[in-house]
Amino acid sequence: MRGRFEATQPEKAQYTMQLTMSLEEWIKLKDQLSTDAWPGSDLCWTINDMVSQAHRTYFPKSKEDA
C-alpha cells in the first residue's frame, strides 16, 4: 500500500505544539515576549492566561479561593 501526503496551502493549516516547562520558566518566557509585536504578543497573552489559571488553581490566596 502507498500513501501520499499533500497540502495545497500549508501556510493556512493549523499546527499544534505542546511545550512543557516549569511555571518559573513560563513566567520568564512571558516576560521576554511582552511586546506589542504580533505574534509574540498573542503568545504572551496566552501564556499569561495559563500562568494566571495555574496561580488560581494551585496557589490560592486564601482557603476560600481554593
Average pLDDT, the chain: 83
**pLDDT tens string 12-43:** 878 787 889 999 998 988 888 887 888 888 88
CB atoms within 10 A of CB 44: 19
pTM of the model: 0.58
Predicted confidence (pLDDT) at residue 47 exceeds the cutoff of 90: no
For residue 39, cis peptide bond before it (omega within 30 degrees of 0): yes
Q: Give the span between the Cα atoms of 44 and 37, in whole angstroms.
A: 10
Q: Angle at Cα 59 formed by Cα 51 and Cα 49, nearest 5°? A: 20
